[in-house]
Amino acid sequence: MKRTVIAIAMSLLSSTAFASDGAAWGYTGDIGPENWVKLSPEYSSCAGSNQSPINMTGFIDAELEPIAFDYEAKSSEILNNGHTVQINVLPGDTITVDGIEFELKQFHFHVPSENEIHGESFPMEGHLVHADKDGNLAVVAVMVTEGEANDALAKAWAQMPEEGETVTLTSDISPLEILPENRDYYRFNGSLTTPPCSEGVRWLVMKQPITASKEQIEEFLHVMHHPNNRPVQAVNARPVLQ
């Protein structure tokens, strides 16, 4: 009984948070991506000229510094906000880019991929979202192809939350299990791929994909009820570095 009350309270809390996050938006119909900019003045950036995702092509060779990954901390909870399934991590996981330390906040997924490489879409894409001490964002994106099951997803999906639910994880899920072995990456300047579409986000897209099983990808889509990818946006004047 007590458990039920807590579960209801938590789902109310999360739906309240949801509402106060701004105007409702989605992936289809009147509240779909083409209309995000019209849904609220707070979403004006969605019509910006440095939006994500993009089709990455016409790469410019640059001597990109390796990203220094320092991931050790554990994940704490998994939630389904109706837009994605997200895993929150405890403080302590960082990457260093441009000499700046960014702390990992959460990682989540999109089916199919949002970014494309040479016009190629992938079955799924993971986003590891980091923020520096001033709130600047850096997203490490990982493409997922169909193949061997992914261990982290196996543990996470074992506690798959329904829409509006947040569940405390009972097993350790390391964000390292979401990264490919080879950490070479593409880089461009972009935005959040969801409202409010804020720009100034460092996008670091791993060149090497990881794999997940067909069942793992399908289970995510089943829980989401629909694809959750924003279509690719105009690249405009932005270089894509490799």
Provide the binding-site residues for Zn ion, judged by CB under 5 A.
127
CB of 5 to Zn ion, least distance (A): 33
> Judged by CB, which is closer to Zn ion: 86, or 171?
86
CB of 108 to Zn ion, least distance (A): 6
Amino acid type, 90: L
Does 83 qualify as catalytic in the annotation?
Answer: yes
Q: What whole-number distance in Å separates Cα of residue 136 and Cα of residue 100? A: 10
> Judged by CB, which is closer to Zn ion: 4, or 28?
28
Q: What whole-number distance in Å separates Cα of residue 101 and Cα of residue 140? A: 14
Helix (H) or strand (E) holding 10: helix 2-20
State which residue has the least CB distance to Zn ion.
127
The residues, any chain, with a CB within 8 Å of residue 194's CB and separated by 6 or more, are 25, 83, 230
C-beta of residue 27 within 8 angstroms of C-beta of residue 33? yes
CB of 53 to Zn ion, least distance (A): 9
> Judged by CB, which is closer to Zn ion: 127, or 187?
127
Q: What whole-number distance in Å separates Cα of residue 91 and Cα of residue 56? A: 31
Amino acid type, 53: P
CB of 127 to Zn ion, least distance (A): 4
> Judged by CB, which is closer to Zn ion: 10, or 145?
145
What token pair was written down for 105? Answer: 């906040």
Q: Determine whether 152 is exposed, middle or buried from the number of CB atoms within 10 Å of its CB (0-12, 13-18, 19+).
A: buried
Catalytic machinery residues: 83
